[in-house]
Amino acid sequence: MDYELRVIVYPPDAQGGRRVRVDGTILGRALGPGDLLEFLRQAGLDPDNVRLDDPLLIEWRGGGPAVWTPNPGEE
């Protein structure tokens, strides 16, 4: 699937939240996959048709879709 949006999910912070940016705008801080899917829904995507491991849609920084805990030593 070809997407028009550019989604970046940043590394987990000290509380495990991950900042979510869509097309250059920070939409918020996701605490898990459900939050991320809600941000993507707000950006106009159908969450039922989104694969969180799709590299054409989401650039994961600091770990992929299964990483929601902070990495010791990183901020």
- The series of mean pLDDT values per 10 residues for the chain, 75 residues long, is 82 95 96 96 94 95 92 54
Q: 8 and 28 in contact (C-beta within 8 Å)?
A: no
Beta bridge mates, 30: 18
What per-residue confidence (pLDDT) applies to 4?
A: 81
* pLDDT of amino acid 20: 98
User: In this predicted structure, what is the pLDDT of residue 70?
Assistant: 82
Classify 48 as helix, strand or coil: helix
